[in-house]
């Protein structure tokens, strides 16, 4: 009986370890996704800023021509 209990406890510990590993892996994946999204957001903002700057320059050039 003690051997059976020991095996059961070992099984519980293995499941807990597996669950912790899965949880860590999920956290790493969420962190990677957040970093990717942040990078994309920065790229989009940079593109938007460039577009606005080009538009201001175009508007200024048009104004000078008139």
What dihedral do alpha carbons 58, 59, 64, 66 form, nearest 10°?
120
CA atoms within 13 A on the CB side of 18: 6
pLDDT of 48 reads 97
Helix, strand, coil shares, percent, the chain, to 5: 95, 0, 5
Query: In 3D, which of 1, 34, 21 has the Cα closest to residue 13?
Result: 21
List per-residue pLDDT tens for the chain, 66 residues long: 688 888 888 999 999 999 999 999 999 999 999 999 999 999 999 999 999 999 999 999 999 987
The model carries a pTM of 0.58
């Amino acid at each position: 009986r003690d051997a059976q209990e020991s095996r059961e406890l070992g099984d519980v510990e293995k499941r807990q370890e597996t669950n912790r590993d899965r949880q860590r892996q999920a956290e790493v994946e969420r962190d990677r996704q957040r970093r990717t999204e942040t990078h994309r957001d920065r790229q989009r903002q940079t593109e938007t800023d460039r577009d606005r700057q080009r538009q201001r320059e175009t508007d200024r050039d048009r104004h000078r021509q008139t």
